[in-house]
Amino acid sequence: MTEYKLAIYGRGGVGKSALTIQLVQNQFIEIYDPTIEDSYRKQLVIEGETRILDILDTAGSEEYSMMKDTYLLEGEGFLIVYSIVSRNSFDEVRSFYELITRAKDSEDVPIVIVGNKADLEFDRQVSQCEGMDFAKSLNCSFIETSAKSNLNVEEAFVVLVKKINKHRLDNPNNNNNNNHRRSRCEIL
């Protein structure tokens, strides 16, 4: 089985933990409890193969930013999450993008921009088109999700894994990928 090291970044309160727990445990957490750092493992069948996702749910607050640094170097793919009902969280996406690309010393990093809380459509502050256009300007994929209604939660992670697979194939000599095992299908 192929393993993937993923990390989720975004401002506090955007639903990073809710997305992760919805994926891993198939439940929605109602109460906001700020995360320091949690890691999860989940098996998913993607493109007919079982994949193991090693997911780091990072803190949204700056006081724990040093913990994030290690995973920035080891992570292969990143979800940058904002809340569609928070303009401020959207405005911080570029900072997280720059943090990741600077740590990786490349703009060629598998990243998916995630607009979460799509179930709160009537309180929307960031349009779907605005999110899509912004992600496109950064050459990232984009998806809107709702951890509460389980909308596109698994799909966000699937999109990221597919981006990582493409990145691995396009960069076969990349030493940053030493921590995974390639399947026969990926080598061919």
| Beta carbons of 19 and 153 less than 8 angstroms apart | yes
The whole-angstrom separation of Cα 156 and Cα 178 is 24
> How many Cα neighbours within 13 Å face the side chain of 121?
5
Whether 35 is in a domain gets the answer yes
Which CA distances in Å does 41 have to 25, 26, 35, 44, 62? 10, 13, 17, 10, 25
CATH number at residue 24: 3.40.50.300
Q: Judge whether 18 lies within some domain.
A: yes
Contact present, 68 and 38 (Cβ < 8 Å) = no
The span from the CA of 76 to the CA of 4, in Å, is: 7
Specify if 179 maps to a domain.
no
Q: How many domains does the chain have?
A: 1
Residue 186 located in a structural domain: no
What is the residue range of 84's domain?
Answer: 2-173
Residue 185, in any domain of the structure: no
Q: Is residue 123 part of a domain?
A: yes
End-to-end CA distance of the chain: 16
39 part of a folded domain: yes
Does residue 180 lie within any of the structural domains?
no
Ordered mean pLDDT values, 10 residues apiece, the chain (188 residues): 94 93 92 66 95 87 53 90 98 95 94 98 98 98 98 98 96 57 32
Tokens of 109: 């990093």
**pTM of the predicted structure, to 2 decimals:** 0.87
* pLDDT of res. 173: 76
Which residue matches tokens 């396009």?
170
Going from the C-alpha of 81 to that of each of 45, 51, 146, the distances in angstroms are 23, 22, 11
pLDDT of 110 reads 98
